Chains A and B, each alone.
Chain A
C-alpha cells in the first residue's frame, strides 16, 4: 500500500448534511400507501395464566382492521433459545408480555382499541430475585424448553466458564488477597429514536420489513422462519434499514413487535407499522442486563497478580436474548485484562419474572471490568502499591497469548497507562496535599477490536460498483446507526480504490442489494468493512490496471491531441506500460514511473466510459467487484472458555479527577482523560465521537442510571424519572488521546473502538472516589445517597 491519502483525516460524515437539515428519514418518518398502524396489548401481571381474552369491544371500534391474539394466529416462535412467542399463549411471564395486537387506520384508534381488550388472568407466584429463582422447589417460569422437553430449573441452559492454571497454587502464592461482591443495574439504552418497523407483503407473498435493526441478515433469517410458521415456505424476506435513531445493542435481536407487525400485515394484506412511544420503549423494550459479580484476586509481595476468581449471576428476565451471552464477552477481560496466571470464571444466568434483557454497548465488558478494576485498586491498597504501578507491573504486552487463548498481536496498554498518568500528573496529584474531597483514579480496558465471534460466521461482504463517472457505489450489510461506520468506510473505500472520499456513495443497507454481514456489534463494523473493502478495492484496481494496458495509451493520445501539436513530447513510453506500472489515486490513473505531466494522467470516469462504450465489437465492460472477509478467529468453546474470538484487541485507560461533596454525597467530575489504543484512527471525527459518546454513557452508568422495578413492574419508564446525563452534567473537559499500534490484521492498522468508551468509566470514577474520601462503592449507580451512607458507615467503623 502506498502512502495513505485519506485515512485519519477529519472529514464530515456523509449522512451529516441530511441529519443537520432534518432530511434523514427514520422509521418514525416513513409511511407506505394504505399503511395501517399496529398497537400491542401488554400483560398486566408478572406471572399469570391467561384465562380468557375478550377482543369483541376492540373489534367493534370504527377504524379497527384486525385484532389478533396468540390463539387465532399460527404460533411464531423466536429468540436466542426460541423460548419466546410473538403473541403469548397460555401464560404470561413478565409485565411486558404481548397478549394481543390491533391494526387500525391511525395510531390513536389502534391504542384506543387496545384499551378495549379485556384479559382475565389467574396470577401465579412470581420470582424476581436470582436467588429465589434458583432455589429448590421454585415455580418454573418455563415448564418446557423450545422443543417441548420438560425443564427442571430456572437456570438458563447457556453455560459459560473458564478454568486455567492452578488456582490453589495461585492462592498459596498470594501475599495479599481481596474480594468483593459487586452489582450492576439494568439500564436503558435510551435511543433517542424509539423502536419501530413496517411490515409489508407484495402480492406474490414476499415480505419486506423496514426495521430499526443492527442485524439485517439474521433478521432476514428470523423473519423467514416466521413466514414458514405462517405456512409461507419459499417466499422471500427483504429487510431494509432506514436511518437509525441510535441503537446501542437494541437492534441485536429481533423483537416481538416485529413479528406482530408481520402477523398484522399478513392478516390485513396491508403494510403495518408499529412505532413505540417513549413509554413503550422504556416499559416494553429490553434493557441492559443486571448482574451480581463476586470477585476474588490476589498478588504476591511484589504486586504480581497470582490468581483471579469471578462468579457471575445474571438476571436474565423472562426470555433469552443474545444479551444472555454477555458472559462470553466477560471472559475477555476476566481472563485477559492484565497478566493473571491462574483463573476461574463461572457464570450462571437465570430466568426470573423481571423484564427480559438484551444487549447494550460493551456487552458484558463494562459489567466485568467494574469488579476487576475496582478490586485491583483494593488489592493495590492492601499491598501498599500505587494503583498505577500495580497496573504497570501486570500489564499485557504485545505478543502475549492470554489464558483464554487471545492472541494479542498489538497491545498499547502500557503506553495508555503512561499517558494517562502523565496527563493527570498522577504521582504528584496523589502525593501532594490537595483540597478536601478531591481524588484521582484510573481503570483499564481490553475489548474485542477485530470482531467477536459468537456465531458461526463473523464475516462481512461488500460490493463496490463503479459507475460511468468515477463514483464508487458501496453496498455493505452493516448498519450506520450514528457511530460513523459510513465515515470510516468512505475513507477506506477511497483509499482502497484510489478515489476521492466525495466520490464514494454508500447505499442504504438492504438485504436485497447488500451482501451478507453478521451484524453491527462488538465494535466490528469498520474493522470488517475495511478489510472487505481492501479486498474488493484490490480486485477493482487489478481489473482496471489490466485493461489500462489497452485503454491508457489511447486516452493519453486524446490528451495530447487536445493539447495540440508539439506539446507533451518527451521520452516516456506511455504506449507500453504494463499493469504493474499503473497507479490510481484520487480518481486519476497514471504511471508510477512517469512524471507529473497532466497529459499522462487519465481521469477515472473517462477511462470507465471508454471501457464501457468506446470499445466496439461487444466487449465493453463495467466494474463491479465483491469481497467477503471472514476474520481468522475461533468460535470459542464456552464450557472451556477458550478461543481467540477476535482478530485484534483494543486497549485503553481512563483517568478521572473527582471532587466529592462529603455532606451531600455528590460526585463532581473535574476532568477525564481517555487514552485508547485503537490501532489506527480512521476518521478522527468519528473516532472522537465514539469515545466521547461512550464515555458519557459510562458516566451515566456510573452515576445516574438505573431501571427501577418493583415486583417486575418498571417504576421509571420515561425521561422524567430515568435520567441520562444532560449537557449541563458534562461540565468537565474530556481529553482524548490515541496510541497507534497499527494492527497487522486491522484495515489500515485499525482496531474497533465503538464500545471502548463505556467500558472502564465506572471503575475509574469509583477508584477516584476511593482516593478522595476512602469509601469503596460496589453497587452502580454511585448515587449521592450511597456515598453518604458509605461515609457514615466509615465514620461508624
Chain B
C-alpha cells in the first residue's frame, strides 16, 4: 500500500507515491530520477548517499522516506546555481582533483557543505573528522582536503575566484 510523501527537494516541492518502507535514497534515485546521490553500501558505512535533511547531513540509505515528509532535502543536484555553474565547493573539488572515479564525490561534497555551514574555518583535523563517514578509494583524501580547505577560504573571502 502506497503513501504520499511530500518534501522540498533542492528548493522545489515534490510529491511521490511510495511504499512506506522505502528509503529516501530509493525515492530520490528511482522515483524522482535524481541519480546524483549514490548507493555505495546500504548500511551507512560509506557516505556515498549523503544528503542534507533540514541542513543536517544524513545517510539517505538509512533514512526512511516517510521521515522526509515536510522537510527540506538538499542533494548534490541542488548545489550548482540556477545558471548551472558549480558552487564554490564543487569548483574547488574540480580545481584540486578532489574527484577521481567520482562515485563517492557527491556524498563527500554534501558532507563538506554540512561541515562548512557549521564551521566556516575548519582545521585539517576537523575536516578529516567530518569526513570519517565518507569512504573514498581513489584519492587518498589528500586532494579532497585541499579542496575543502580552499572552498572554506574562498567562501570566507566572499569570492569564488
Contact = CB atoms under 8 A, between A and B. Distances in A.
B53 to A, nearest CB: 17
B33 to A, nearest CB: 10
A22 interface: yes
Contacts, number: 180
A483 B140 contact: no
B17 to A, nearest CB: 15
A388 to B, nearest CB: 25
Given A22-B77, A193-B101, A689-B143, A697 B106 contact: no
Nearest to A191: B137
B58 interface: no
Given A21-B80, A22-B77, A719-B46, A727 B94 contact: no
A278 B46 CA distance: 10
Contacts of B48: 192
Interface in A688-724: 688-689, 692-697, 718-720, 724
Given A20-B105, A26-B38, A190 B94 contact: no
B62 to A, nearest CB: 13
A192 B90 contact: no
Interface stretch (A11-19, A51-59, A439-447, A541-549): A11-19
Contact of B35 (A29, A193, A482, A718): A29
A28 interface: yes
Contact of A730 (B29, B43, B128): B128
Instruction: Bin chain A's interface residue count.
Output: 35 or more
Contacts of B143: 685, 688-689, 692
A654 to B, nearest CB: 13
B100 A734 contact: no
A168 interface: no
A13 B100 CA distance: 9
B99 A192 contact: no
Nearest to B104: A192
B90 A21 contact: yes
B63 interface: no
Contact of B98 (A20, A720, A724, A731): A20
A660 interface: no
A425 B145 CA distance: 27
Shortest beta-carbon contacts, A-B, top 9 = A22-B36, A482-B101, A19-B102, A696-B140, A245-B103, A719-B45, A482-B100, A22-B76, A692-B140
Contact of B93 (A16, A245, A692, A724): A16
A728 interface: yes
A12 B143 CA distance: 12
Contact of A20 (B40, B42, B99, B145): B99
Nearest to B40: A192
A184 interface: no
Nearest to B77: A22
Contacts of A718: 41, 43, 45
A724 B40 CA distance: 14
25 contacts: A12-B95, A15-B102, A17-B86, A19-B105, A20-B94, A21-B86, A21-B90, A22-B105, A189-B137, A192-B48, A192-B104, A193-B38, A245-B38, A248-B137, A278-B40, A482-B100, A688-B97, A689-B100, A692-B142, A694-B140, A696-B141, A719-B45, A726-B134, A728-B129, A731-B125
A193 B136 CA distance: 10
B150 interface: no
Contacts of B75: 22
Instruction: Bin chain B's interface residue count.
Output: 35 or more
A448 interface: no
B98 to A, nearest CB: 7
B57 to A, nearest CB: 14
Interface of A: 12-13, 15-26, 28-29, 189-194, 243-248, 277-278, 481-484, 685-686, 688-689, 692-697, 718-720, 724-728, 730-731, 734
Query: Is chain B's binding surface mostly helix, strand, loop or mixed?
Result: loop
B29 to A, nearest CB: 8
B41 A20 contact: no
Given A193-B38, A724-B135, A22 B140 contact: no
A697 B93 CA distance: 21
B148 to A, nearest CB: 10
B135 A734 contact: no
Given A20-B86, A28-B38, A731-B125, A482 B102 contact: yes
Interface string B23-38: 0000001000011111
A190 B97 contact: no
Contact of A727 (B42, B80, B134): B134
A21 B110 CA distance: 11
B139 interface: yes
A726 B109 contact: no
A21 B125 contact: no
Contacts of B45: 718-720
A247 B137 CA distance: 10
Contacts of A724: 135, 137
A586 B137 CA distance: 36
Most buried by B among A194, A245, A725: A245
Contacts of B41: 278, 718-719
Contacts of A727: 127-128, 131-132, 134, 136, 141, 144-145
A29 B39 CA distance: 10
A697 B137 contact: yes
Nearest to A190: B137
B3 interface: no
B35 A22 contact: yes
Contacts of A244: 101
Given A21-B90, A719-B45, A728 B100 contact: no
B100 A484 contact: yes
Nearest to A23: B36
Given A20-B98, A192-B48, A728-B131, A689 B43 contact: no
B117 interface: no
B129 to A, nearest CB: 6
Contacts of B101: 191-193, 243-247, 481-482
B102 A728 contact: no
